[in-house]
Structure 1
Amino acid sequence: MKYISKRYLNKAITPMAESMNHTYEYEDLIDLSLGDHDIITDIRIIDKAFEDTRNGHTHYTDSLGYLELREKICDYYKYEYSYELGTKECMITTSGCHAMYLVLEAILDDGDEVIIHEPYFTPYKEQVEITRGKPVFLKTYEEDKFKININNLKKAITDKTKAIILNTPNNPTGACFDKDILQEIANICIEKDIVVIADDIYTLFMYEDEFIPITTLDKMRERTITIGSFSKDYAMTGWRIGYVLAPDYIIQTIRSINENSVFTAPSISQRAAIHALDIRNKVQPPIKDEYKNRIYYAYERIKSISNMSVIKPRGSIYLFVNIKKTGLTSKEVVDKILNEAHVLTISGEAFGESGSGYIRIAVTQSVDRLKEAFDRISEMNIFKNKNYIGV
């Protein structure tokens, strides 16, 4: 251990890595842990990308990414949101997660505070810390549908606050922030001169309202950094392709940092992203319909199981399930579900303190597989007996 940096010496295994370790434990395992689709990338995207590969797209690209791809992303925002972007305000990255690291590395000085609304996507805390920032957690609550309380947000702001990370539709809770709450957040950020890092990863998965990028609100363009990804919205997790939208001086800084990391996103993945955008109106509706069907099926099943409850889903591909009535901790429930039902989920505590008493279920399996999973879960003693008291 003597060669390990002191920053990492006592780091525990991450919840996601731990979840991956469990995937090999049972032959009949149903994996509802990670947000990785069972759906493969549309074959038309695959065929076009590999045709491009055969035709020579196997080299480095511009370090900002293919100009053609950046143009198509700009066109997408103009078409979908009437939002004008220049290609110098867009950079292609090796996934949304890598984009977040690059953004934080570019904007944070030592000790700068970053507000993270909790429950939060697990890597946020570590990403802020490794880029020398200080995470400040803003708890949200089930009774508020996990939406940000504006008064609590104001209390979390200090003279060291540099940025706030917003994630809607939210992983893990599925919370969706409507225009009114986004505007309230925007007003505070304008008043206090705070940067918004909008982690817009699940924009396709809004089941009741239309998605609104906070960067499109008045006076937010100059203080918003948007992170996008093809992983979830196009079923392209393994291609590892994302992007950043920001003022050009921020993009240039991120570009310089990335030249010391991976230089460019993979050319083949960028070609796939180009073709995904070209046929998005054919590719995306079936994905959205499938997940809407799955998430409402899972919602109805959970409502019928004792000692489980969940708010009505509005977005994302996750359900954040309340298991407090079992009397057990989140991890104890996750372990029981794994060992007794052979269904893999993630403990709510992986998403911050306010995740205690919850588990996250990803509806990344077919309805038939979800049915099997919930049939097994419903037969467990902790969920059959309304009067069960955890021991």
Structure 2
Amino acid sequence: MKHRFISKRYWNSIATAMGESSSHLAEYDDVINFSLGDPDITTDARIIKAAFEDAMNGHTHYTDFFGDNELRQEICKYFDEEYSHKLKIEECMITTSGCHAMWLVLEAILDDGDEVIIHEPYFTPYPQQIQLTRGVPVILETYESENFQVDPDRLRGLITNRTKAIVINTPNNPTGTCFSEATMKAIAAIAKEYDLLVIADDIYTKFSYEAPFIPMMTLEGMRERTITIGSFSKDYAMTGWRIGYVLAPDFIIQTIKDINENNVFTAPSVSQRAALHALRHRDAIQPPMIEEYKKRINYAYDRICGIPGMSVLPPRGSLYLFVNIKATGLSSAEVAKRVLEEAHVLVLPGNAFGACGEGYVRMAMTVSVEKMAEAFDRIEKMTLFQKK
């Protein structure tokens, strides 16, 4: 809104369909929520219990400004065990969520007017996060016909003298795509050719269904030019704990730490202890959770394939299906509105994720199969999705 007491940067609304989705939950008392990617699975009791015990034992104070040292060491150990990639503790910092990590990274690396390439459809906050740090978002379009993979030639064509970094997100929110090894190597080659940074927003690493996840920083020559953002929100069902981390060359970590002293100081100590216990119990906690999401996403895929006017690529990764609704002849916002009003199912319109998302809706598989069955039964009864 326009007001003399509000920064002119925010006089025009910056609200998004994602940010406003929760307000729609109160419109009907039987809404089934496919909108936000907040798992219905509660954080594992072993994590909660151990974090509570740590709090009772005094872990309620500021931690080291870089983060709890035990947690940082455990993250380094994790990458050694999972990917045979050795990190120094000086290359790791704990943040208050993955979104906070992204802001800190952009604030640390961008000069005014620097350009950051993001592949579209994209995680909704990216453009504004870049603009908040005085950068310029540059859109790289991807398409369903190409499995939403990054096209190297289109990427190369966007690079200018002001390009500073490329953001990648795989497994992807919202499309669910997983970049192939060839795509990853092509992006790496371009980053090296033009001396660019790659910011790897690695939020859904355990939800790569077709092939094992490949961290960008493990590719040849990419360690020194990759900044990795990690989070415990999805891989461990810990969205409310607000805990993430950054992996980067030590001089970048030092800069991020200095910035954060003037922002939130340190991440919550109890949340950091919870993250530590999540890592230590991951072999027991993660497999059944991942299997549950695979079951859900495969069920949803089968149901969508049977609904006229809807289509979707086979599940590849993440918690999402990016459903093509172009056959309805309506916009993504119109379809999302009708699905809510007529079926009482809340989905996000694809244009919330950039112009390439028009003609799609995103569905988050964060409710039980039983609730999903009810949701798709309701959608199937809509006149919009009857056979013509």
- TM tier, smaller: over 0.9
1:38 pairs with one of 37, 40, 43: 40
Partner of 2:180: 178
Structure 2 distance, partners of 1:48, 1:170, is 31
Structure 1 residue runs without a partner (length 5+):
none
**For 1:225, what is the secondary structure of its paired residue?**
strand
Partner of 1:66: 68
- Return the offset for 1:94: 0.2
**For 2:10, what is the secondary structure of its paired residue?**
coil
* AA at the equivalent of 1:375: D
- Return the offset for 1:24: 1.2
Structure 1 distance, partners of 2:114, 2:199, is 14
Structure 1 distance, partners of 2:181, 2:155, is 17
| CA displacement, residues 109-154 of structure 1 (integer Å, 9 cap, x when unaligned) | 0110000000000000000001000000000000000000111111
**For 1:24, what is the secondary structure of its paired residue?**
helix
Partner of 2:171: 169
1:90 pairs with one of 89, 92, 101: 92
Structure 2 distance, partners of 1:94, 1:342, is 34
Partner of 2:298: 296
- Return the offset for 1:219: 0.7
2:200 pairs with one of 187, 194, 198: 198
1:281 pairs with one of 280, 283, 287: 283
Structure 1 distance, partners of 2:277, 2:137, is 37
Partner of 2:380: 378
| CA displacement, residues 299-328 of structure 1 (integer Å, 9 cap, x when unaligned) | 000000000000001000000000001010
- Among the aligned pairs, what percent are the same residue? 64
Partner of 1:150: 152
* AA at the equivalent of 1:39: I
TM-score, length-normalised on structure 2? 0.99
1:266 pairs with one of 260, 265, 268: 268
Correspondences of 1:114-129 after superposition (within 5 Å): 114-129=116-131
**For 1:136, what is the secondary structure of its paired residue?**
strand
Q: Is the 8 A contact 1:178 1:212 kept in 2?
A: no
1:356 pairs with one of 349, 355, 358: 358
| CA displacement, residues 337-364 of structure 1 (integer Å, 9 cap, x when unaligned) | 0010000000000000000000000000
Structure 2 distance, partners of 1:174, 1:336, is 24
Structure 2 distance, partners of 1:12, 1:21, is 16
Structure 2 distance, partners of 1:251, 1:333, is 44
> Are 1:216 and 2:218 an aligned pair?
yes
* AA at the equivalent of 1:11: S
Partner of 1:79: 81
Q: Which runs of 4+ in 1 moved over 6 A?
A: none
Structure 2 distance, partners of 1:269, 1:166, is 26
Structure 1 distance, partners of 2:188, 2:96, is 28
- Return the offset for 1:287: 0.9
* AA at the equivalent of 1:102: L
- Return the offset for 1:159: 1.1
Structure 1 distance, partners of 2:114, 2:328, is 40
| CA displacement, residues 135-187 of structure 1 (integer Å, 9 cap, x when unaligned) | 00000000000000111111111111100000000000011012221111101
Structure 1 distance, partners of 2:13, 2:166, is 25
| CA displacement, residues 70-96 of structure 1 (integer Å, 9 cap, x when unaligned) | 000000000000101000100000000
- Return the offset for 1:239: 0.2
Structure 2 residue runs without a partner (length 5+):
none
Q: Is the 8 A contact 1:114 1:162 kept in 2?
A: yes
Structure 2 distance, partners of 1:23, 1:272, is 30
**For 2:327, what is the secondary structure of its paired residue?**
helix
Structure 2 distance, partners of 1:84, 1:13, is 41
Structure 2 distance, partners of 1:24, 1:75, is 44
Structure 2 distance, partners of 1:90, 1:25, is 43
2:9 pairs with one of 3, 7, 10: 7
2:328 pairs with one of 309, 326, 329: 326
Structure 2 distance, partners of 1:76, 1:55, is 25
Aligned residues: 386
Q: Is the 8 A contact 1:334 1:359 kept in 2?
A: yes
Structure 2 distance, partners of 1:287, 1:118, is 28
Range with greater deviation from structure 2 (373-382 or 9-18): 9-18
* AA at the equivalent of 1:153: L
Structure 1 distance, partners of 2:253, 2:312, is 40
Q: Is the 8 A contact 1:46 1:272 kept in 2?
A: yes
Structure 1 distance, partners of 2:359, 2:19, is 21
- Return the offset for 1:231: 0.1
> Are 1:337 and 2:328 an aligned pair?
no
Q: Is the 8 A contact 1:294 1:367 kept in 2?
A: yes
